Structure 1
């Protein structure tokens, strides 16, 4: 299938569905696809605009543009459906490649992979305003063996969002910002079980974002986040540089609960740059503290060094300082807790 260069196509919501399709389909996108801006085209609202589902071997490539025309969705006074669509979504598919194209101004998430395996995303970009709501760049859920590299992600939410059911995720050479940084979670909402493991984020830059590298979980959940590596990350004017937040709450009042998604085996190595408010914020569960948090070669400086800013904050966080850090992260506790893994089974 070809969208030729120089052409513009107006496309209503559409799903390309398997499984009875020949493998190794190539969707060559060199032109431009634009979404409808009127509420009538969306009915009561849809979860996605362009969907590829239950396919084996699907490649979307080219120098074209997918434009969600999201500005009307960003306007709170506009009469659009309450369910905002993801621009491009892959579901239940394997051997997926997305490369070359630009996805811009999505009503919500730009590119989503749900229940997918063997995914490659590279040499592409995402672009939406820094104040656009919930416009994650790349969203991963229940997906395994994913490689993302050489991408530029600018949005109003997480550049990359890694949700429950993800493992074997390798992210490198990403240019992130504006947005909310690169995040694992929020996990465990509504007392759910969440499992994320074996994630590497390295050799990337994060600029003008709300957080740099973040893990966020809701109180009351179960499961675990383990085997996470953040390495060689350059930060610039990031509000909070490094964060683990096991008390995540998205604005509504959240009650205190004892159960939690266990967080263990988290390594931060060679994280450098500038922050505007907080260098390090580790807020871990009272009943299930974070363990195995390793810090090595952390150099974080306030944008305005003359202004007094927050010191590193740690609550119920256990691990190891392998080198001296800037600023000194004296609040990290040494040792391990034997019962930490009680709710970590995944």
Structure 2
């Protein structure tokens, strides 16, 4: 198919800095802070993650936990306050101007609201072609049109029917397909999806999730999938990173995290995720857990030590004085907790 990547990426090269050799995307000590009149918002605090080539990492957590800020920082939207974001061996944080513009072809984003993320005054074909025009990709209008049509067909839209219409003429699910085509047309190697199904009906959610999985397998994409719903990411993610108030509190392969969650906050999310039979905890046979408070602390003044301690039923004095470090408790399973759940 013309215009969409069909070849497999080059074999992985040593990542260096002790990172996994097969890491396609490396987030290294990334911090994102926003300065407001009320003070500094600590949106993301010293987060490090590796995403292996061809896999899907899910970032999960409540609204306000920093997962969208981290996702945008990966694309330098805006540039993180500190840290590095490396795609293959290219540190995006060390680039600017034309070099950063060129490197952004490697990593693209599908935004949360499928309707507001599309320019209502432009046709679908112009929206999808815009990235190609900005990047100077293609030898002329004919090639650009060919690439745009291929991208639209890849996401299940008929170019002849959809190309000259505007976003307002489409449903939310169709708009999300257009947004995905806009990202795929640049042949990215990494795709960041920020709550791509949260604004859609449940039946449409399943269609978009199946489409994303098909695109990942078909074009060997590496994906970061951002969601607040653990039920959604259960079947799409290879690995899950749980975020709370700007920090990662647990990272594990999907089956290990759902089968034996180690952080109390992870269990709280599983206990709160609804399913047809009750909660996700019920369906997984897990013992539910309840928070001591429903109020999320302010990122303007996060708690000392462990940021979850003000809501954690297992908190002790050490939780207030020492920040827990993310450590291995099993192969591929890390947790930042002074009192993980496997303790009696």
TM-score, normalised with respect to structure 2:
0.27
Larger strand proportion, structure 1 or 2?
Answer: 1
Q: Which has the higher contact order (CA 8 A, sep 6+)?
A: 2
TM-score, normalised with respect to structure 1:
0.27
Larger helix proportion, structure 1 or 2?
Answer: 2
